[in-house]
Amino acid sequence: MMADATAPTDELLALRERIDAVDRELLSLLNRRAGLALAVGDLKKREGSAVFRPDREAQVIAGLKAANRGPLRADNVAPIWREIMSACRSLESPTRVAFLGPAGTFSEEASLGFFGSSIERVPCGSFDEVFRVTAAGGADFGVVPIENSSEGGVARALDLFLHTPLFIIGETSLFVRHQLLRRTASLQGIEVVAAHPQALAQCHGWLSTHLPQVERRPVSSNAEGARLASLDERTAGIASARAAAEFGLHRVAEAIQDDAHNRTRFVVVTMPERHPMPQASGRDCTSLVVSVKNRPGAVHDLLVPLKNHGVSMSRFESRPARSGQWEYYFYIDIEGHPDEARVAAALAELRQACAFFKVLGTYPLDAH
């Protein structure tokens, strides 16, 4: 009788046994960590401090990545430990996170990437609802996209920051690969492509080449486009691989975004009384929105305080103030934390030059 070529060798069996032993050891250590997390949670409750500290988690992940000596890649450390911290955090208190839904959106994916999967998901029908639900206490945090590497700022999200009490405590960026999804595995017979306006814009070139006569229908989210595609075989959606699995759709074409390096930046928002401003981590961003009176040299005057105090600006974007007077709001990201003397001095001087000045938040830079 011939030996079974698929049967594991003695050497493989021995390695598997060693892996199983390490897994049991890891599980024991993880439970020890969970016990310590519960003790920390009890102490936080007595002190009235926040359960989730993005600055602390960013510090932990940065330290572990620096200490890693392989063969595990440093890039693998962040998602592994984010899940560990998410599971431990959920033992202290469930974290409710609002995002643009339904299930399967890139906003959901960004939420899971930032908080880990041990969260209570609160899908919302619009950016306005994400802000409203989070401000009203229906969610502890909200996650919204604010800019895309090819299409720029997400206009509605930026506008909502003007009058909301919410502020930013974290950020995460996502490599966005758009898939064309449909009930049947063919491009034939598509009459409508439904997706969020940003996704339609990001895939403009591909759609013009491959589906030039097809109607492009803007909807509230990419996952909503996928849901509509699941109901009508004449409709295709542009969405994520997660949405394809969620709605049982074929990926008719993959990576159809015009920019091969397409990324979207998301921010995490919450109420100030619910969460303190993150402490300085050494790699921080401060976001603000300002306006100046329409006069010669006004925009130049915004930049002078930053230059004078050696503060780098990583983003500068304008949005119309809708006053009918050709006035604009300017969204600015600067590197650093207000606890740093140079940043505090620059912000104080900048405030004096502005007709409107609002700090949107200070937070650790994306640790991914």
| Mean pLDDT across 23-29 | 94
pLDDT for 367 equals: 58
The string of pLDDT tens digits covering residues 119-144 is: 999 999 899 999 999 999 999 999 99
- Tokens representing 11 are 């050497």
The string of pLDDT tens digits covering residues 190-230 is: 999 999 998 999 999 999 999 999 999 999 889 899 999 99
Which residues lie below 8 Å from residue 81, measured CB to CB, with a gap of 6+? 60, 61, 64
Q: Which CATH fold would you assign to the domain 47-174+262-275?
A: D-Maltodextrin-Binding Protein; domain 2 (3.40.190)
- pTM summary value: 0.79
| Mean pLDDT across 89-117 | 88
Give the domain ranges of the chain: 47-174+262-275, 179-253, 284-364
For residue 197, list its beta bridge partners. Answer: none
Which is it for the CA torsion 16, 20, 26, 30, positive or negative? positive
**Which residue from 172, 176, 131, 179 is spatially nearest to 151, judged by alpha carbons?**
176
Q: Are 290 and 356 in contact (CB under 8 A)?
A: yes
pLDDT for 327 equals: 77
**Residue 9 annotated as catalytic:** no
For the chain, give the percent of residues with pLDDT over 70.
96
Q: What is the CATH number of domain 179-253?
A: 3.40.190.10
Better-predicted residue by pLDDT, 366 or 352: 352
Q: Are 362 and 278 in contact (CB under 8 A)?
A: yes
| Mean pLDDT across 159-180 | 92
Q: Which of 266, 270, 330, 362 is catalytic?
A: 266
**Residue 114 annotated as catalytic:** no
Which residues lie below 8 Å from residue 55, measured CB to CB, with a gap of 6+? 278, 279, 280, 281, 363, 364
Edge-to-edge strands, sheet with 192-195? 215-218, 192-195, 235-239, 179-182, 250-253
Alpha helices in 93-240 (DSSP H): 106-115, 127-136, 155-160, 197-202, 204-210, 222-231
Q: Is the pLDDT of residue 66 over 70?
A: yes
Instruction: Give the DSSP H/E element, type plus range, for residue 246.
Output: helix 241-247
Checking DSSP bridges between strand 192-195 and strand 235-239, what pairing results, if any? parallel
**Which residue from 261, 296, 278 is spatially nearest to 367, judged by alpha carbons?**
278
Q: Are 250 and 183 in contact (CB under 8 A)?
A: yes
* Cα(233)–Cα(184) distance, integer angstroms: 7
Q: Which of 264, 270, 286, 362 is catalytic?
A: 264
What's the whole-number average pLDDT of the chain? 89
pLDDT for 1 equals: 46
CATH superfamily of 284-364: ACT domain (3.30.70.260)
The string of pLDDT tens digits covering residues 278-291 is: 888 888 999 999 98
Instruction: Give the DSSP H/E element, type plus range, for residue 14.
Output: helix 10-47
Which residues lie below 8 Å from residue 44, measured CB to CB, with a gap of 6+? 50, 51, 92
Query: Half-sphere exposure of 62 toward its Cβ, with a 13 Å CA cutoff?
Result: 14
Please spell the DSSP secondary structure of 18-61, one letter per residue.
HHHHHHHHHHHHHHHHHHHHHHHHHHHHHHT--S--HHHHHHHH
Neighbours of 266 (CB within 10 A): 26
Q: Do domains 179-253 and 284-364 have the same CATH topology?
A: no
**In b/e form, how buried is each residue of 229-253, taking b as 16+ CB within 10 angstroms?**
bbeeeebbbbbbebbbebbebbbbb
